[in-house]
Structure 1
Amino acid sequence: MSTDSLVSEYFSTGTLAGLPSGHFIDGAFVTASGGRTIETFDPGAARAFHAFAAGDCADVDRAVAAARTAQKTWGRTRGNLRGAVLMRAAALLRAEAQRFAVVESLDSGKALQEAEGDVQGAARCLEYYAGAADKIEGSSFPLGTDYVGFSVDEPVGVTAHIIPWNYPLSTAARSFAPALAAGCTVVAKPAEQTPLTALMLADLLFRAGLPAGVLNVVTGTGAEAGGPLVAHPDIRHVTFTGSVQTGVRVMQAAAAHVASVVLELGGKSPVIVMADADMDAAVEGILGAIYENAGQICSAGSRLVVERSVHAQLVDRLARRAGALRIGHGLRRPQLGPLNSAAHLDKVAGYVDAARQRGLTISAGGERTVDPDGGAGWFFQPTIIDTVSADDPVVQEEIFGPVLSVQVVDDEEEAVAIANGTNFGLVAGIYTRDFGRAHRMAREIEAGQVYINEYFAGGIEVPFGGSKQSGFGREKGLQALKSYTRIKSVTARIG
């Protein structure tokens, strides 16, 4: 079915036919053990449009048991055969891209064109790790003529994946694919706000030839399904994307059974603009960095660190552009979509209201709003808060919305110090025409990834992760495979 037909179906019926409603366990959709369901909401209309299984410990146990059984064969399947399944899944995802994009936009609220990009990125992720599956290899050790020593990279076993609500399909694909390529089995728990595309992806991979039990998805709340999953004694590794506070609890739970952990947590990422920068490129980069997905991105460029001589003109240009952004329901392809939930809208609005009460200058936006066509939804205007001190909450704390905080500096040294002046260290952006300065600053900035003259540069090939309270471990790139393998060393005397 075409994109236009799917969009028309939703706006005429209030839902889409054939949406998944059960857990995906051992190759099939199944109801929750307790028979309970949860509603999922359309953020652009602030209304429920579907219900899905509310899982608990019993459902988690079923899924982990299925994954343990499947691990015995999937872990010994040749890499080229694992890769072939992932490659078929990539082709199938491209063939079904329209439905995945519409469901992703509807469930998360993001603009349809952004969801379409996410689907293509997920397919590329599957292709990338399909090519890596038969290239995981060990090493040999120089022990002299009387010994042979070598290592084997083995799959760690059953892995748990906690998927956030802001990029449900992208985040699922970027952790499922390397785990499956390495020979691990998967039990995933998507966010209760956005469960649908993770379930659809599990079904798609099964249809592409993934054996039953290799990939399982249990839906439900974090407390009733996510907590039991990361604490399950048969889980050997946990990949988590989410808040710092929840990440700490995940790490504590995993420690009880000595499971390894990758944590991709919050961010308060700076975009540094020096006076010699290409201002046209900087404006476009900053707008995308903070207003894509309504700012609901861990790596959003939520702080503008700008050299004083260009501060006024740059903020003026940004404010005019921000005020002109077209707001609307995600399926209508707006430039700025809604926030994901009423509770999150309250959080974002609370930060801006408090900043206004402290006397800070709101140069653009700063208010709640609604979809101009539908008259509802959880929307917040694209906002700029100007000339903020380094210790202010809107600089130090992750707002996770379309709110840009501006910090003014006088030189390169101060720019780096201000950029490093939070507890986060996920990414950073630098705009300057001076090649040497760009790389000096990149060297000194405390972040897992640095973009120069283009924010969000790179792709699945580039390792992604943070430092400080932004977490540890790396997803994407060949580096991600290391999280899902363990080294076994073998030494033999032959002399």
Structure 2
Amino acid sequence: MADTYLNFVDGTWTEASTSETFENTNPADVNDTVGVFQRSDAEDAERAVEAANAAKDEWAATPGPERGRILRETSKRLADRKDEATTALVREEGKTEPEAAGEVQRAIDIFAYFGEKAADIGGTVKSSSSQDTRLYTVDEPLGVAALITPWNYPIAIPAWKLAPALAAGNAVVFKPASLAPNVARILVECLEDAGLPDGVVNYVTGPGSAVGSTFATHEDVDAVSFTGSAKVGDTVHQQATEDQKRVQLEMGGKNPVVVTSSADVEEAADIAAGGAFGVTGQACTATSRAIVHESLYDEFVDAVVDRAESLTVADGLDGADVGPHVSESELESTLEYVDVGTREGATLETGGERLTEGDHANGYYVEPTVFSDVAPEMRIAQEEIFGPVLAVIPAATYDEAVEIANDVEYGLSASIVTNDLRESNAFVDDVEAGVVKVNQQTTGLELHVPFGGMKASSSETYREQGDAGLDFFTISKTVYVGY
């Protein structure tokens, strides 16, 4: 019998007012129920906002170093529960165990980082042009921040929103994705155990149409930070900006790796395969396109196919290289794109089949997939797939490769593999992406530098992580003191 988990509102674990629940199952084995969670509605979301609104002033008045102490203690509590959180993440989302452990460690590190940064929040002193005048700024929290997070990084993304929001002195209402709410619950328990005051963080599970929409439109919410699909993000933006809330959106990607004529093919194949097939391709920064100089094209295709075919697809707790899709609908979407690519005339070099025999019988597994002979205008070269599918596109020149890389609606992450210093520096200038890598995977982020996209990948308002993460959750006053 699976455990039933509750919402966390005003410092109390409580049932939803609906008395309804939903099951969360293991994508590696749908007969394994991870837990039963509250199917909350607008009334539950409103109670969470009321609790945060009541708690915000006291938390804002708490000295930054004390807020930081609670965040550092949260980091320690999560570190103590790392194995538990790792297993929970694998079972609900499908990552491999090393991938899940790395994500949990990222959350641990984020809370430790912002625990230290909390003491630095304050403002700046400037020289006035007038005599006998002090001129300075004061950074203050916004008030109540609503955080709406996706299933694909179910603890790292909540961490990189929660930690700066709390460090800056905001109270929070938080809706995790219904496909992966359990590891987020563990994080909230760590915050509670660390001594966070009642009402400062409120965790509510349930459908976005009820909980997320209420958060986005509620008059007592001052800021909304959302990560997810572009379609849902557009809706959140429209709802939240009707009363001029501050909004931060990070959404999809169609991320390229450009392989130039000077590149080492084996290195390029490793970089492309790692970015395309890691985390089952279920990352907004995953490599979706390899744009390869025609002189290396055939050799690259052979090399990346070899890597795809060498990967073990299995339960993330069983030593797999690639885990399952998170849900049947996500799996069906990937399989549909495989069909689309074949119909469009691309060559299916390897993969693309659902695995259904033996240990794969009860999970959402698909083989890592490589298409060659892909034209830039094909749907598999234009649309986000969110699965382990790599489209390999030929290019005759560096300029053509960059033109193809930029000719999509998204602009999140991009990489170039080259041994030419001029090309590497030119790419940084030329590519339309918020994250640019040279001789590295499109996936993988440092926690102390800004993260965000361009074009349809982002609202292009505020970046996340590092000092930029704090900027979103604070507002400045400028103070003139004559004496």
- TMscore range, shorter length: over 0.9
Moved more, 147-156 or 119-128: 147-156
Contact 1:94 1:123 in 2 (8 A): yes
Matched, 1:440 2:426: yes
Partner AA of 2:393 in structure 1: Q
Partner AA of 2:241 in structure 1: A
Partner AA of 1:411 in structure 2: T
Contact 2:155 2:184 in 1 (8 A): yes
Aligned to 1:173: 159
1:23-422 equivalences under 5 Å are: 23-47=7-31, 49=33, 50-141=35-126, 142-370=128-356, 372-422=358-408
Q: Percent identity?
A: 37
Contact 2:340 2:379 in 1 (8 A): no
Matched, 1:490 2:479: yes
Aligned to 2:453: 466
2:375 and 2:68 map into 1 onto residues whose CA distance is 51
SS of equivalent residue, structure 2 residue 158: helix
**TM-score w.r.t. structure 2 length?**
0.96
SS of equivalent residue, structure 1 residue 41: strand
Moved more, 457-466 or 214-223: 457-466
- Which string of whole-angstrom CA distances, capped at 9 and with x for unpartnered residues, describes residues 105-160 of structure 1? 10101111110111111101111111110112312342311433221000011000
2:136 and 2:357 map into 1 onto residues whose CA distance is 61
Deviation for aligned residue 1:85: 0.8
Contact 1:27 1:203 in 2 (8 A): no
1:240 and 1:91 map into 2 onto residues whose CA distance is 27
Partner AA of 1:120 in structure 2: Q
Contact 1:364 1:385 in 2 (8 A): yes
Give the alignment's Cα RMSD to 1 decimal: 1.4
Deviation for aligned residue 1:20: 5.8
Deviation for aligned residue 1:320: 1.6
**Closer/same/farther in 2, CA of residues 232 and 47 from structure 1, 3 Å limit:** farther
SS of equivalent residue, structure 1 residue 46: strand
2:305 and 2:431 map into 1 onto residues whose CA distance is 27
**Closer/same/farther in 2, CA of residues 120 and 20 from structure 1, 3 Å limit:** farther
Aligned to 1:6: none
- Which string of whole-angstrom CA distances, capped at 9 and with x for unpartnered residues, describes residues 196-241 of structure 1? 1111111111101111111111000111211111111111111100
SS of equivalent residue, structure 2 residue 399: helix
- Which string of whole-angstrom CA distances, capped at 9 and with x for unpartnered residues, describes residues 328-385 of structure 1? 1122131111111111111111111122122220011011113742522111110011
Aligned to 1:8: none
2:307 and 2:444 map into 1 onto residues whose CA distance is 22
Contact 1:89 1:126 in 2 (8 A): yes
**Closer/same/farther in 2, CA of residues 240 and 371 from structure 1, 3 Å limit:** farther
1:398 and 1:196 map into 2 onto residues whose CA distance is 26
Deviation for aligned residue 1:394: 0.6
Deviation for aligned residue 1:448: 0.4
Deviation for aligned residue 1:458: 4.3
2:183 and 2:4 map into 1 onto residues whose CA distance is 9
- Which string of whole-angstrom CA distances, capped at 9 and with x for unpartnered residues, describes residues 369-415 of structure 1? 13742522111110011121111111111011011011111111111
Deviation for aligned residue 1:46: 2.5
**TM-score w.r.t. structure 1 length?**
0.94
Q: Which runs of 4+ in 1 moved over 4 A?
A: none
SS of equivalent residue, structure 2 residue 296: helix
Q: Which runs of 5+ in 2 are unaligned?
A: none
Deviation for aligned residue 1:31: 0.3
Contact 2:142 2:474 in 1 (8 A): yes
SS of equivalent residue, structure 1 residue 302: strand
SS of equivalent residue, structure 2 residue 257: strand
Contact 2:270 2:307 in 1 (8 A): no
Moved more, 462-471 or 372-381: 372-381
1:58 and 1:240 map into 2 onto residues whose CA distance is 21
- Which string of whole-angstrom CA distances, capped at 9 and with x for unpartnered residues, describes residues 48-87 of structure 1? 5021101111111111111111111111111111111111
2:84 and 2:356 map into 1 onto residues whose CA distance is 26
SS of equivalent residue, structure 1 residue 309: coil
Deviation for aligned residue 1:479: 0.9
**Closer/same/farther in 2, CA of residues 121 and 20 from structure 1, 3 Å limit:** farther
2:232 and 2:274 map into 1 onto residues whose CA distance is 27
**Closer/same/farther in 2, CA of residues 217 and 282 from structure 1, 3 Å limit:** same
1:128 and 1:316 map into 2 onto residues whose CA distance is 42
Contact 2:275 2:287 in 1 (8 A): yes
Partner AA of 1:46 in structure 2: V
2:357 and 2:410 map into 1 onto residues whose CA distance is 33
2:475 and 2:413 map into 1 onto residues whose CA distance is 28
1:172 and 1:140 map into 2 onto residues whose CA distance is 33
- Which string of whole-angstrom CA distances, capped at 9 and with x for unpartnered residues, describes residues 436-470 of structure 1? 31011111101001011111354101211000000
Contact 2:265 2:296 in 1 (8 A): no
Partner AA of 1:25 in structure 2: V
Partner AA of 2:36 in structure 1: A
2:50 and 2:283 map into 1 onto residues whose CA distance is 34
Contact 1:371 1:377 in 2 (8 A): no
Contact 1:45 1:371 in 2 (8 A): no
